[in-house]
Amino acid sequence: MTQKEVYDKVVSVLVEEFEVEDDDINLDANLFTDLKLDSLDAIDLMVTLDKELGIEIKTEEMKDLRTIKDVCDFVLATSNNE
Amino acid sequence: MKRVVITGVGLNSPLGNSYEELYESLRDEKCGIEYVPEWEEIDHLGIKVAGVVKNIDFKSIPRKYRRSMDRVAQLSAISTSDAIADANLPQEIISSKRCGIAFGSTMGGNETLFEYIPEIKQSMSFRGQNSMAFLKIMSHTVAANLAQMFSIKGRNIPTCSACTSSAQAIGAGYESIKYGMSDVMICGGAEGIHYLAGGVFDVMGAASTKHNNEPKVASRPFDESRDGLVLGEGSGAVVLEELDHALTRGAKVYGEVIGYATSCDGEHITTPSKEGMMQVMETSLEDASIEPKEIEYINAHATATQMGDIAESSATFNLFGSNTPVSSTKGHMGHLLGGCGVVESIICLIALNKSFLPKTMNFKTLDKECANINVLGENMQKDITIAMNNNFAFGGINSSLIFKKYKG
């Protein structure tokens, strides 16, 4: 997957599943302070990405993810490793 | 002892989504039961009709709260929001330690349950399971979700006892205030429609199966031609308040709760006991310190099952004789399970405030095996002061609530 494909997928999941406003999303947006998600939302975001992209993401690997860029980089790295 | 009054009402039912809509539907003899085409896909499910709630916008619940709610909790959230607004309850009262909640349902979220368990069983893995599923399924999902949504900090009493869930919730709230432990209790219950409930009663031979082509005449409480119950979905919430607390803040009063009892038969898991039913009504009358002759209207549980209606008519006759007007409103909307106790209590408030006693929809001839009670076959206009609402659940769980018109 390309960086753009991952970003577009993350954006579409955030908008459709988490009802985040499209305008609030950018690479630097913080999941918790800017997008007002919480730790359970973060888990469910990764679960949804796992389902949609078929990549396994372990909960303990997510604890350092803060921004949309963190999520995209993590998904991309995991996807490439698989 | 404190006096307990009702200062707010909210509901979502097959007969409408407000106190006034419910009154108008009953007055105009509407029926909220309809054919459910999706149930045709289920093999060996005889019942294909149900009472369904319409015209509600679940997206009005912020996603932050909606994410952990299945349909049963979402219905409850909307009813509770309406009840709180109706009572004009300020947030500082809702979030004080003297305001609590009692709320129940038969099941948690069935829609989620039916996705979650099969997926795990099939894959033998929790991979791909989100964090919200269990919070939608758990037995106290409604009480837990409402408490966080409305920032309730006082008592939280989940009452999950099937058909007596919301009657027991009102009873628990009433006792919390009466005995001085709370000033305000938000009470109610709900059920979301799902074919599981239809199947459960169908398997036991207790669901109506003969009127799938004519849903409006499917539910016939007390009638000789009844062939079983029809399920419905719905929710209701009432704000109970200590009388002086309500008067001090100038709240409007729908009525007073003056009596409550709950009991169990301790006999059979499904067969109702007329002695148990009679006992709970007697104990409720004792709690209210009134005589049976003072009850001027009874909203019966009467689900239109063979055994249940016979037992209830007998218990009712033994205490009240043949004169007291009795009706079951399950002919209009079906059996709301966890929601029936509160919605039927709200119908008692309508009876008190509108001088209106609803008929029993589809009732023509009293089953000869029923005792000779005064089942209303037509709507009645009558000024009354005291009404009783009875509900009974699987497990022989009984409840009886008594409401009185508030005259200041």
A51 touches B: beta carbon within 8 Å: yes
A34 contacts A24 by C-beta, under 8 angstroms: yes
Which residues, including other chains, have CB under 8 Å from residue B121's CB and lie 6 or more apart?
none
- Please, which residues bridge with residue B187 across strands? B102, B238
For residue A40, give the chain B residue with the closest CA: B131
B31 classed as catalytic: no
**Do A43 and B128 make contact, defined as CB atoms within 8 angstroms?**
no
If DSSP states are collapsed to H, E and C, what string results for B181-196? Answer: CCCEEEEEEEECCCHH
| Number of other CB atoms surrounding residue B220 within 10 Å | 28
- Spatial separation of the C-alpha atoms in residues A49 and B291, rounded to whole Å: 65
Instruction: Tell whether B404 is covered by a domain.
Output: no
From chain B, the residues in CB contact with A50 under 8 A are: 127-128
Nearest to B107 by CA among B32, B196, B14, B12: B196
Domain of residue B122, residue span: 4-394
Contact indicator for B140, B106 with CB cutoff of 8 Å: no
In a domain, B405, yes or no: no
Sign of CA dihedral B59, B93, B171, B355: negative
Sequence-separated contacts (24+) of A60-69 with Cβ below 8 Å: A65/A31, A66/A30, A66/A31, A66/A32, A67/A27, A67/A28, A67/A29, A67/A30, A67/A31, A68/A7, A68/A10, A68/A11, A68/A25, A68/A26, A68/A27, A68/A28, A68/A29, A68/A31, A69/A27, A69/A28
| Nearest one of B226, B174, B245 to B335, comparing CA atoms | B226
Tokens of B211: 């009127």
How far lies B197's CA from each of A45, A58, B49, B107, B408, in Å?
A: 33, 37, 12, 9, 43
Q: Which residues of B touch A45 (CB under 8 A)?
A: none
Q: Kindly name the residue from B31, B99, B160, B163 that is annotated as catalytic.
A: B163
Helix %, strand %, coil % of chain B (to 5):
40, 20, 40
> Is position B46 within any domain?
yes
What is the reported pLDDT for A63? 80
Q: Which one is catalytic: B335, B340, B348, B370?
A: B335
Q: Within an 8 Å CB–CB cutoff, is residue A48 touching chain B?
A: yes
List the helix and strand counts (H, then E) for chain B: 14, 16
B120 reaches A (C-beta below 8 A):
no
Bridge partners, residue B279, by sequence? none
Buried b (16+ CB within 10 A) or exposed e, B251-290: bebbbbbbbbbbbbbeeeeeebbbebbbbbbbbbbebbeb
Q: Please state the separation of Cα B279 from the chain's center in Å.
A: 21
Is it the case that residue A9 has pLDDT exceeding 70?
Answer: yes
| pTM value > 0.80 | yes
Q: Does B129 touch chain A (CB under 8 A)?
A: yes
User: Terminal CA-to-CA distance of chain B, rounded, Å?
Assistant: 18
Q: Give me the number of domains chain A comprises.
A: 1
- The CATH number linked to B216 is 3.40.47.10
B370 is annotated as an active-site residue: no
**In one letter, which amino acid is B66?**
R
B63/A40 Cβ within 8 A = no
Which residue range is the domain that position A40 belongs to? Answer: 3-81
Closest CA to B238 of B2, B403, B6: B6
| Residues near B297 by beta carbon (within 8 Å), at least 6 away in sequence | B324, B325, B326, B327, B348, B351, B357, B382, B384, B386, B387, B388
- Cβ-Cβ contacts under 8 Å between A and B: the total is 22
- From B31, B301, B340, B348, the catalytic residue: B301
Cα–Cα distance measured from residue A14 to residue A27, given in angstroms and rounded to the nearest whole number = 13
- Give the C-alpha separation, B291 to B287, whole Å: 11
Chain B residue nearest residue A42, CA to CA:
B131
Q: Is B95 a member of any domain?
A: yes
Q: Which of A14, A21, A40, A56 to mutate to test the interface with B (most CBs of B within 10 A)?
A: A40
For B242, other C-beta atoms within 10 Å of its C-beta total 21
Tokens of B338: 């966890």
Q: Do residues B186 and B153 touch, judged by C-beta distance below 8 A?
A: no
Which among B44, B199, B69, B52 is positioned nearest to B135, based on CA atoms?
Answer: B69
Establish if B403 belongs to a structural domain.
no
Cβ of residue A50 closer than 8 Å to a chain B Cβ: yes
Whether B399 is covered by a domain: the verdict is no
- What band does A82 get if pLDDT is binned at 50, 70 and 90? low
pLDDT reported for residue A78:
86
Taking contacts as CB-CB distances below 8 angstroms, the residues of chain B near A40 are 67, 131-132
A15 touches chain B (CB under 8 A): no
Q: Which amino acid is residue A22, in one-letter code?
A: D
Type of residue found at B119:
E
Task: State residue B335's pLDDT score.
Answer: 98
Radius of gyration of chain A (CA): 11
Tens of pLDDT, residue by residue, chain B (408 residues): 999 999 999 999 999 999 999 999 999 999 999 999 999 999 999 999 999 999 999 999 999 999 999 999 999 999 999 999 999 999 999 999 999 999 999 999 999 999 999 999 999 999 989 999 999 999 999 999 999 999 999 999 999 999 999 999 999 999 999 999 999 999 999 999 999 999 999 999 999 999 999 999 999 999 999 999 999 999 999 999 999 999 999 999 999 999 999 999 999 999 999 999 999 999 999 999 999 999 999 999 999 999 999 999 999 999 999 999 999 999 999 999 999 999 999 999 999 999 999 999 999 999 999 999 999 999 999 999 999 999 999 999 999 999 999 988
Residue of B298, B268, B269 whose CA lies nearest to B371: B298
Identify which of A36, A47, A56 has the shortest CB distance to residue B130.
Answer: A47
Distance from the Cα of A69 to chain B's closest Cα (Å) equals 22
* Residue whose C-alpha is closest to residue A64's, from A40, A42, A35: A42
* Spatial CA neighbour of B99 closest among B208, B213, B241, B4: B241
Question: Is B400 contained in some domain?
Answer: no
Residue A80 has pLDDT above 80, yes or no: no
Looking at the structure of chain B, the number of domains it has is 1
Is there a domain that residue B358 lies in?
Answer: yes
Domain of A29: which CATH number? 1.10.1200.10
CA distances B340 to B165, B346, B389, Å, are 8, 10, 10
